Chain A
């Protein structure tokens, strides 16, 4: 087991190295440089001075060598857009809001998705089942942007129950969390329903029922553990996607998270911030992947890693 984890960590480091190199090259291949959007309002001297300040006047291999050397020392560099601000600081100041939002959305989606999915699996073709099917379709089809605007219109503008923007009171979490959770709830509902139906049809569950065990006990003690395995498989990438894919919701609700920062770094060609963010997200995905693998072992003793 320890050997497996160490192997995964080593593979993760190699993956990050490749990811960082690809991100470094890709962003430089895309047309337009970090100062091009403002070039019409800059002098030639100013443009040249900026390139020299950030070493962009040097050949690409030199820039790459400097980048890799700094990375090995744990230095992600200085943002080209936020002058004087290290990329690590930028990530640090945005990660709190994104993590809070993602955590709330994760808990909310898992709780609602599992509750709906399991309930629907126990009452096939009931009103609840049909509601879950409809919710799954709507949740998958509606983009975050539309959900956010609709929620704002109803709950902030018409009912005035919650603030429109920010993340500075418990009330302000409601709308962004719902907007961010709708899609995962749809997936989790469908997934947990299917896997629970499978689990409920297993011989050991049929036997438990035949012995007269109550449905609640059957579900909680026998079926749920097995039904959770595919759900956990989904939760790993879900955490990553909540962290990465939250930029639309962050932008709409004016939440100072890193999702918004990633989007801005692409449009502004902020090379250092973008590569830093890619490394950060890559690391997050790898770490979560390892944690999910470990949780498998805890839940299902049949799982063994060689």
Chain B
């Protein structure tokens, strides 16, 4: 009886898989986030053992607010008001979310059938405790800024107001309200992120900061629960029987390996030790075309330019540097699904007022043009690069970054006749030096957005922002930023975002380079692996075919 049922499910799933593949096109092609899986195997029968072994980057903690990696493993074990399912943002622990007309108050009602992995019910108190814990300055949470859209959250985190003034209020055990300081276009997406995941007060307070590193104390409310963890080697998760959607989950066990070397990961993938590789090289992806999936990452790679520097304070020089880069050549060199960028706003961020990708609505605000770049440089007093001092190009170590640095310097030498020295440093030293005005003339920069909102990269260049590593100061830009932050109307807000983008690019305070891609190798037997907008894998609908 059980076997027949399994076969029935298998036939249904195989059909679903085929239709999803047909809808998505070839999994090897680039496209929007969603489900990923290699071509369906011939038989379409479910494997006896529904277990997926895959590689992932290890975090130093699985406490949602301490996770210093992608948050993927945390997202297997914890779930927020919203969650990701096959690349779509859907309600998770939330039954409903009502937004007030002014866009400031969110009334969140939780599901009735939600439980922690030890069987205790999930309540409003759990969410409120977790968010307030993160905002508490004594907690010293790294990514607390994700909560700053809540009224008085930043002030409380800075020690400027009392906890009771923060815009979070309990209505009853299953309902609570959140008041924002300004309307937000991405708050619902943020509610699926790590910063908004609930944790258990009694667990945190009883077992201290390392509660999330042991299976017996890592109590979550997500689709999977931790059953074993060997730091720096592997973690095993099993289906959480107390999860409300447990009956829809086919995968019984996830074994997560922490392989750091991509060459080792490749061998492990080829031997079948792992079924999903998350850091394949472009060459490996080309070798396994049918098993490769490329997806645009919610990130942009760009160069910060020292706008206060002796030479680069002249916008014409900065524009010349930007125009003299052949971005397509960079992408071809990298060969892993990267695409040229002419804005620092990630390619897949939407303009909600136009229902199009943000970067497709306006722009690009400049074009690559070597002759024009040469003319601008000459106009600035450096014809053919004569008299132009050597500039320093800073980057953190890594094959990709170092190759890009060499290629760009070669382009500047060839197209503009200027030379640059490449300075490679480890991440910590590089970031510290990049902040120092005058240390590097140009330096690599990237951030991975936690949600789709163009303000995240654009706000970096406010003159008072601590991460304004271009040292760009433009009163008009600051005023636009303030207006955009306060604007409640989505259409007007996006107009302001476009103005910010245009100002930043035309001033060449930054030099956009390319959009990085996410690359995965997935065995043909593994189907319907979901990928969130930030590139996290999820397995709620995944299954393994026999063979």
CB distance from B94 to the nearest CB of A (A): 26
**B431 contacts the other chain (CB 8 A):** yes
**A41 to chain B: which residues have CB within 8 Å?**
142-143, 447-448
**B469 to chain A: which residues have CB within 8 Å?**
40
**B271 to chain A: which residues have CB within 8 Å?**
156-157, 160, 164
CB distance from B153 to the nearest CB of A (A): 10
B229-288 with Cβ < 8 A to chain A: 230-234, 257-261, 263-264, 267-268, 270-271, 273
CA distance A163 to B287 in the complex (A): 23
CB distance from B288 to the nearest CB of A (A): 14
The contact of B142 among A42, A149, A267, by CB within 8 Å, is A42
Inter-chain contact B232/A40, CB cutoff 8 Å: no
A37-51 with Cβ < 8 A to chain B: 37-47, 49-50
**A85 contacts the other chain (CB 8 A):** yes
Instruction: Give B419-432 as 1s and 0s: 1 = Cβ < 8 Å from A's Cβ atoms.
Output: 00000011111111
Inter-chain contact A42/B143, CB cutoff 8 Å: yes
Name which residue of chain B comes closest to A268, CB basis. Answer: B428
**A260 contacts the other chain (CB 8 A):** yes
- Contact A33:B233 (CB < 8 A) given known A83-B60, A164-B268: no
Instruction: Give A16-47 as 1s and 0s: 1 = Cβ < 8 Å from B's Cβ atoms.
Output: 00000000000000111111111111111111
**B210 contacts the other chain (CB 8 A):** yes
Instruction: Give B435-475 as 1s and 0s: 1 = Cβ < 8 Å from A's Cβ atoms.
Output: 10000000001011000000000001000001101000000
CA distance A82 to B60 in the complex (A): 5
The contact of B428 among A53, A252, A267, by CB within 8 Å, is A267
**A35 to chain B: which residues have CB within 8 Å?**
142
The contact of B140 among A52, A165, A257, by CB within 8 Å, is A52
**A236 contacts the other chain (CB 8 A):** no
B137-157 with Cβ < 8 A to chain A: 137-145, 148, 154, 157
The contact of A267 among B140, B213, B427, B466, by CB within 8 Å, is B427
The contact of A157 among B140, B145, B232, B267, by CB within 8 Å, is B267
**A152 contacts the other chain (CB 8 A):** yes
Inter-chain contact B233/A255, CB cutoff 8 Å: yes
**B66 contacts the other chain (CB 8 A):** yes
CA distance A53 to B264 in the complex (A): 38
A-B contacts besides A40-B460, A251-B261, A252-B264, 6 pairs, CB < 8 Å: A30-B429, A32-B430, A49-B137, A50-B140, A84-B210, A156-B267
**B40 contacts the other chain (CB 8 A):** no
Interface residues of B (CB under 8 A from A): 60-61, 63, 66, 68, 137-145, 148, 154, 157-158, 208-210, 213, 230-234, 257-261, 263-264, 267-268, 270-271, 273, 425-433, 435, 445, 447-448, 460, 466-467, 469
A154-177 with Cβ < 8 A to chain B: 156-157, 160, 163-168
Inter-chain contact B68/A254, CB cutoff 8 Å: no
**B144 to chain A: which residues have CB within 8 Å?**
43, 45-46, 49
Inter-chain contact B232/A94, CB cutoff 8 Å: yes
Considering residues B137, B142, B270, which has the most beta carbons from chain A within 10 angstroms of its beta carbon?
B142
A109-150 with Cβ < 8 A to chain B: 149
Sample (9) of A-B pairs whose CB atoms are under 8 Å apart: A33-B432, A36-B431, A37-B427, A38-B68, A47-B466, A83-B63, A166-B234, A251-B261, A254-B264
CB distance from B96 to the nearest CB of A (A): 31
Inter-chain contact B213/A31, CB cutoff 8 Å: no
CA distance A255 to B264 in the complex (A): 13
CB distance from A242 to the nearest CB of B (A): 18
The contact of B466 among A44, A84, A165, A268, by CB within 8 Å, is A44
CA distance A94 to B233 in the complex (A): 11
**A52 to chain B: which residues have CB within 8 Å?**
137, 140
**B208 to chain A: which residues have CB within 8 Å?**
84
The contact of A39 among B260, B264, B467, by CB within 8 Å, is B467
Inter-chain contact A83/B66, CB cutoff 8 Å: yes
A267-283 with Cβ < 8 A to chain B: 267-269
**A256 contacts the other chain (CB 8 A):** yes
Inter-chain contact A45/B258, CB cutoff 8 Å: no
> 5 tightest CB-CB pairs across the interface, nearest first?
A84-B209, A32-B428, A256-B232, A43-B145, A53-B140
**B213 to chain A: which residues have CB within 8 Å?**
85
Interface residues of A (CB under 8 A from B): 30-47, 49-50, 52-53, 79, 81-85, 89, 93-94, 149, 152-153, 156-157, 160, 163-168, 250-257, 260-261, 267-269
CA distance A260 to B261 in the complex (A): 12
Inter-chain contact A45/B66, CB cutoff 8 Å: no
Inter-chain contact B257/A254, CB cutoff 8 Å: yes
Inter-chain contact A254/B267, CB cutoff 8 Å: no
Inter-chain contact A40/B431, CB cutoff 8 Å: yes
CA distance A255 to B231 in the complex (A): 9
Name which residue of chain B comes closest to A148, CB basis. Answer: B264
Inter-chain contact B273/A85, CB cutoff 8 Å: no
- Contact A40:B447 (CB < 8 A) given known A30-B429, A49-B137: yes
Name which residue of chain A comes closest to B266, CB basis. Answer: A157
- Contact A85:B432 (CB < 8 A) given known A40-B445, A163-B273: no
**B138 to chain A: which residues have CB within 8 Å?**
49, 53
**B467 to chain A: which residues have CB within 8 Å?**
39-40
The contact of A149 among B263, B273, B435, by CB within 8 Å, is B263
Name which residue of chain B comes closest to A90, CB basis. Answer: B231
CA distance A107 to B233 in the complex (A): 24
**B140 to chain A: which residues have CB within 8 Å?**
46, 49-50, 52-53
CA distance A165 to B144 in the complex (A): 36
**A260 to chain B: which residues have CB within 8 Å?**
232
CA distance A156 to B429 in the complex (A): 37
**B61 to chain A: which residues have CB within 8 Å?**
82-84
Name which residue of chain B comes closest to A39, CB basis. Answer: B431
Name which residue of chain A comes closest to B466, CB basis. Answer: A44
**B261 to chain A: which residues have CB within 8 Å?**
251-252
CA distance A287 to B236 in the complex (A): 38
**A85 to chain B: which residues have CB within 8 Å?**
209-210, 213
- Contact A165:B268 (CB < 8 A) given known A32-B426, A38-B68, A256-B230: yes
**B231 to chain A: which residues have CB within 8 Å?**
93-94, 256
Name which residue of chain B comes closest to A256, CB basis. Answer: B232
Inter-chain contact A269/B260, CB cutoff 8 Å: no
Inter-chain contact B273/A31, CB cutoff 8 Å: no
CA distance A79 to B431 in the complex (A): 21
Inter-chain contact A157/B428, CB cutoff 8 Å: no
The contact of A251 among B260, B427, B431, by CB within 8 Å, is B260
CA distance A44 to B466 in the complex (A): 7
Name which residue of chain A comes closest to B232, CB basis. Answer: A256
**B260 to chain A: which residues have CB within 8 Å?**
251, 254
- Contact A164:B142 (CB < 8 A) given known A45-B154, A81-B60, A256-B231: no
**B210 to chain A: which residues have CB within 8 Å?**
82-85, 89
Inter-chain contact A32/B429, CB cutoff 8 Å: yes
Inter-chain contact B428/A164, CB cutoff 8 Å: no
CA distance A78 to B491 in the complex (A): 49
**A42 to chain B: which residues have CB within 8 Å?**
142-143, 145
CA distance A160 to B430 in the complex (A): 41
CA distance A88 to B385 in the complex (A): 57
Name which residue of chain A comes closest to B426, CB basis. Answer: A267
**A166 to chain B: which residues have CB within 8 Å?**
233-234, 257
CA distance A33 to B430 in the complex (A): 10
- Contact A165:B432 (CB < 8 A) given known A156-B267, A251-B261, A260-B232: no
